[in-house]
Each structure stands twice: as C-alpha cells, then as structure tokens.
Structure 1
Amino acid sequence: MVKMLSRKKVYALMGLLTVFLLQPVLPSDAYGHSLFIQSSRYHVHAGKVSPLFFCYGHHIPVDDGVRAEKLKSVRVYTPAGDIRKIKIRNETCLHSYMVDYDGPGTYVLAAETNPGFYTVYMDEKGRERHTIKPKSAIIDRSGEIKLSLYSKQYAKTYVTCEKSSSDFPGRIGQNLELVPVRDISGLKAGDDLELKVYFKGKPYTGPGTWNATYNGFSTRSEDYYYSKTAVSGDTIRIPIPRSGRWFVRYSVKVDAEGADREKYLQEKQTATLVFQIPGEVKNPGK
C-alpha cells in the first residue's frame, strides 16, 4: 500500500524543486576546468611502453573525463627530435594513450585544447547565468555581463628514458609555455623550480598568476599548496619542499580588441606543468 504524503510535505518538496530548477545550469566546461597531462612513470627503461593520461577539473590528480572535442592535439616529442601525433579517440574519458619509449633521453608529452567561450551574465529576472557561448549570443537577452572569456590551455610533462638528453628540451614552442631553466629530472626536495614564461614565442613581461600543489596535499577542490599568486615578468620561482608529483598552473589574461570584443572581453590562456620529485623508499620490506 502506498503511503500518501501530507499536504505540508508536498508543499515543502515543491519548494525544493522550484529552488533547484531556478539554479543556473553549469556545464562542466563552464567551471574553468584545468588540463594537466601526466605519465604513469617519470623514469622508464628503453623499450618500455607506458601510458599517459589527463587530469581535467578541480581535483588532483584525476577529476572529470575529457571530451574528445576539447582536445586539439596530443603529442610526444622524442629525444631524436621526432613529433608523434596521437590520434584522439572520439569519446569522453581520461584519454589515456600508450607511449613507446624506444630510446634513451628526455621525452616531452604535450597537449593543447581547442579554444572555448565562458560567459557569466545576469538575465532579465536578475538571476546569474553561466554559459559556454560567446557574449554576442546572449547580450540581447541579458542584463550585466559579469565575465566573458575566450580560453585556451597548454599542458606539458617530461619523462626520462634511461638518462636525460644532453640538451634538455625545455621549450617546445607552445603559445603559452612554462620552461624549466634546467633539467627538471634533477630536482630534489628542498630545491627551487625556476621557470621561464614564453608567450607567443617571446619571453613574457606582463602580469600573470600561478599556483601549485602536490598529489595528496588536499582532497578539496582547488585547495592548492601554493594559492594563486600574482606575478609579473618572465620568471617564476617555486620552492619544492617535498617529494611527490607536483602540478603547476599559470594563466594570463589579455583584453580583447576590435571586433573580438563583440564575442568576449578577455582572452585567457593557461599553461600547466606536471613533474615528479623522487622520494626515499619508506618500507624496504625487510
């Protein structure tokens, strides 16, 4: 026998449903998800085939699946100077792909996203709305435009096969790129990571923001070991106090010009870097 709800409970449920329906619908991409490319291992032997995969979202080390349409390219730069383009599967997943480390040296795993829009605006009823459309698509039926971005991301990590390349391939030519000034595989806990920032092929001299964390620091969304820090110029120095897998994120925003202002107010570009600091064996099994 089905138990009928009281009129009071029905009204309460209707109220909750109304609140739910009035909330803005936020597509996953609209949260400003960050893209990090990772390797299962950071030191491999020649002949080893090992996977790469992604962190996409706000929780380290793995969060949401990545839509195939989000990825413009995934590439492997070999010590021999070859660039291997990986065919992206047409699905939403972690996009893990096997990498063949067939010779000694430093390999670079890199990815680039397709650009996308993110707009936050107030509708005619005063409600905040989020969309992945350009502002030109919603301006006629909105009030205030609170945020209007056109964004693109570049992700990178380094893997050493047997030994590092004699000429460390720090820079690969990404539009926005974090470039270690020395072989990143030689970093130890207690060292500083020094990065040079390149934007459109040149050292970047403008403002930006960075933050960084390591795997296991926090299970909370966007809770980084180093919170967002404003910097200016082409150099970033990050103290690395402990071993583990580290995630670095750096972003710049540039005001839109000319006809682009009809679609967005700012262009945001983000570069990420993942690296691993080896630690001591904690349980040798004796």
Structure 2
Amino acid sequence: MRKTIVFTVLAVLLSVVSARAHSLWINVFESHAHQPPHAMVSLGWGHVLPMDDILNSPSGNIALDRFELIDPAMARTDLLMPGQASGEPVLTTGNFDLFAADMALQKVALKKDGAEGVYQLSAVSTASFFTQYMDTQGRPRLQMKPRDEIQDIQKILMSVKYQAFAKSFLTVGAWTDPAPLGHGLEIIPRTDLSNLRIGDLVEVDVLFHGQPLTATAKSIEYITAQGSGFGQSDGFSLFSYIINGKAQFRVQSAGQWMISVSHKDDVTPDGPLKDLVGKADQVYHGASLTFTVK
C-alpha cells in the first residue's frame, strides 16, 4: 500500500513539474516588406524558441482560457484559438508517430490609419487543479479537480493549482510603457522593446496578483532570459534576482528572446489567493515575455 501511495504521489508531482518545466509563450514576427506592415502571431510551448512542441503533447500539454490582442487604448480583441485536437497520433509507423499541430498561427494586418502605440498580446492558460488524497476507504486517489469538488476525502496528500501567462508586443510608432493586464503573475517591460540592440539593458517589473514580487529568505525569486541565438543550444539562461518587483539583464545576441519567471505560493485566508481557500493549498504560476533584438 505504501509503495502504491508513493508511486501515485510521484506521478502527480511529475505532472506538475512537467507543466512548470514547459513554458508557454507568444511568437510575434513583424514583416515590413509591404506597407502597412503585418505580424505573424503564434503560440509556443516547451523549451526552445521559437517552436518546440505541440500544445497537446503527450509529454506535457496545456489548454488556453484566453488569447487576446489589447490595443493602445486597452480595448481587447479575441484572437483565434488553437483547435481542440485529441493529442493522439494521426499516423504511426515503425520509425515515428505523426501528430497534427495547431499553434494558433494567424496574421495581424495593421491598417494605414490605425492607432499608434503598443499593442499587447496576451495568453492565459486554463487553470489546472491536482488533488492527491486518501479516500474514505483508505485508498490513494488522484483527481484533476479542486478539493471542494471531491466528496470522499479522508486525508489530503497534495492540493495544487497551476496556471501559465504569456505576453508579447507589437509596436506601431513610438513605444510607451505598457499597462499591466492583471495576470496572476506578470512581467512588465520598462525598456523600449521595439528597438533593442545587442548589449542593451532590459529592465522589467514582476507582479504577483498586482503586487511587486521580491526575493526573500523564504523564497528566492528570479527571472531567467534566453535567446534563440544565446543559451538554448547549451541549456542555460541568464539569471537575475527580483528585488522589490524589479529585475534586469543585458541581451547578448540578435534574434528572439524570452524572459520567464515561476512562482509558488501558499493559499491563506488573508492573502492574495484567498478565493482558493478550500480548493487548493498551493499555487504554481509561470509567466513569459517575448521580444526581438535587432
């Protein structure tokens, strides 16, 4: 019985860690070959820019709750969502499996007289709950539901929620610092991301439920940054502590870059996660921000 419990707990932990090890991000590639310009937009999932895995991968999957474009006046427009594929291979051979992939690829065609400013692209994953418990008959159980939706709990072993947030930007005309979008975990640039060069300093704010995240003795908070031409092939990232909600680093190469942050917090009756009391004991959040260095 003890071996069964341990194995099941490990399986749940691996599921959560797999979700956290994968990153969700937004690809935005601008084209100025014709005027007015346009941008090709898609989602990224996995480890390596610009595209690593499919959203419904057997090795770690994620579903979206929202995918939006927010204009300079903060008006929101729903973007095309990825299709709901089964996650099963559409073709199997002795050498490989073939999977259909929908990464929500779409074209944002700007208009000649459109509003100038910073357009924000935002993706928010569907919240995932993992509840590991002993039922009233003493059996180890796992359900992907909030704790308060399960009826036969004798003892809670683990109860967590996971959610991912991703942002990117499209600048028309002059850059202005973008306003927060209210993500549970959010990276906000305080540097002009529309005209970055190698060696430039990038400064960001990091907010957890609207409040500055900061490194403490209890939790060492930090961002990581890597580019399509820096760090990925060698499996490492730049690292910066988050102090009073602020972090910074210098970009090392041209191409696409991504800043990532993860944060774990406890659910308490008087904290920012108080609406989750009875549903989960801990929350894991991940956030990303992507941009291009010229």
Structure 2 SS opposite 1:31? helix
For 1:114, the aligned partner's letter is T
Moved more, 29-38 or 248-257: 29-38
Q: 2:237 aligns with which of 221, 225, 228?
A: 225
Q: 1:213 aligns with which of 223, 226, 244?
A: 226
1:43-75 alpha-carbon deviations (Å, 9 max, x no partner): 686533432111112333212222598111111
CA RMSD of aligned residues (A): 3.8
CA apart distance, 1:154: 1.6
Q: 2:53 aligns with which of 64, 88, 91?
A: 64
Give the distance between the partners of 1:268 and 1:42, measured in 2 at CA. 36
Q: Which residue of 2 aligns with 1:203?
A: 212
Give the distance between the partners of 1:34 and 1:189, measured in 2 at CA. 24
CA apart distance, 1:79: 3.5
Q: Which residue of 2 aligns with 1:247?
A: 258
CA contact under 8 A between 1:27 and 1:131: conserved in structure 2? Answer: no
Q: Which residue of 1 aligns with 2:98?
A: none
Q: Which residue of 2 aligns with 1:282?
A: none
Q: 1:83 aligns with which of 71, 76, 82?
A: 76
Write 1 or 2 for the structure with the bigger share of helix.
Answer: 1
Give identity over the alignment, percent: 24
Label 1:196 to 1:42 Cα distance change in 2 as closer, same or farther (>3 A).
farther
Q: 1:164 aligns with which of 170, 174, 180?
A: 174
For 1:90, the aligned partner's letter is G
Give the distance between the partners of 1:210 and 1:99, measured in 2 at CA. 29
Matched, 1:266 2:282: yes
Count of aligned positions:
244
Alignment of 1:23-34 (within 5 A): 24=11, 30-32=18-20, 33-34=22-23
CA contact under 8 A between 1:44 and 1:160: conserved in structure 2? Answer: no
CA apart distance, 1:225: 2.2
Q: 1:115 aligns with which of 111, 123, 127?
A: 127
Give the distance between the partners of 2:18 and 2:152, measured in 1 at CA. 17
CA apart distance, 1:141: 9.1
Structure 2 SS opposite 1:185? coil
Structure 1 SS opposite 2:242? strand
For 2:283, the aligned partner's letter is E
TM-score by length of 1: 0.69
CA apart distance, 1:158: 1.3
Give the distance between the partners of 1:144 and 1:242, measured in 2 at CA. 45
Label 1:188 to 1:178 Cα distance change in 2 as closer, same or farther (>3 A).
same
CA apart distance, 1:253: 1.9
CA contact under 8 A between 1:42 and 1:160: conserved in structure 2? Answer: no
CA apart distance, 1:81: 4.5
Give the distance between the partners of 2:156 and 2:17, measured in 1 at CA. 23
Structure 1 SS opposite 2:264? strand
Q: Which residue of 1 aligns with 2:42?
A: 53
CA contact under 8 A between 1:72 and 1:112: conserved in structure 2? Answer: yes
